[in-house]
Amino acid sequence: MARRKRPGSKYVSVKADRLYGNTKIAKLTNMMMYDGKHSIAYGIVTGALDMMYEHHIKKSTPDLKAQAETKPVKKTATKTDKDEAEGGEVEASSSTTVIAPKASKEEVVNELFEKVLEAASPRVEVKSRRIGGANYQVPIEVRSTRKLTLTLRWLIKFSRARAGKNMVSKLAHELIDTLEGKSNTLRERENIHRMAMANQAFANFKR
């Protein structure tokens, strides 16, 4: 049995999902899956993301369905050769508008999902350390890979704990509440941070 860590042996790379091209959504699907039923888990995740997108569309102002950003472009007045020869006045051209293309559904969903992960990711956590015959809860900084794992684990845990039988709806409401700052996932994150702050005196015990 190997006694030392080998680089690249602990973490397995995850392929991006086929609809949104996001590896984090693919990882959420894998963690949601039961008994190898990937298609059912992927249907739950994509259905929840669709509900989150529709909620964002209804709530956004102006509506993203009809959103078109207009930017005025001013053109400077110029004299033509004929004007200079005749000494006529210069006619100023009217301003035009350039309509920027609206963002696609996949881009909006990826952006919203990244906001959920950013809002729910913990910065610090506590680890038990046995020093001098006593156990101490030592606050340590969370690695980026563990941040993602904890966040997805909390989203799934508190989604399943919600009332109701429709898992798509439960996961969607957990994502929406996280965006709006009132989900149980965010409360769990705050509890972890509060515990780390309470044990800040033992921070020098971390290895």
Domain boundary assignment for the chain: 23-67+103-205
DSSP 3-state of 68: coil
User: CA nearest 71: which of 94, 99, 103, 101?
Assistant: 99
pLDDT for position 87 = 53
Stretches where the chain sits below pLDDT 50 are 1, 63-65, 67-78, 82, 84-85, 89-101
- CB-CB contact of 23 with 16 (8 Å): yes
For the question of whether the overall pTM of this predicted structure is more than 0.85, the answer is no
Q: Does domain 23-67+103-205 match CATH 3.40.50.620?
A: no
Could you read off the pLDDT of 49-69 as tens digits, one per residue? 999 999 998 887 554 445 444
What b/e sequence results for 117-130 when a residue is b if at least 16 CB atoms lie within 10 Å of its CB, and e otherwise?
bebbbbebbbeeee
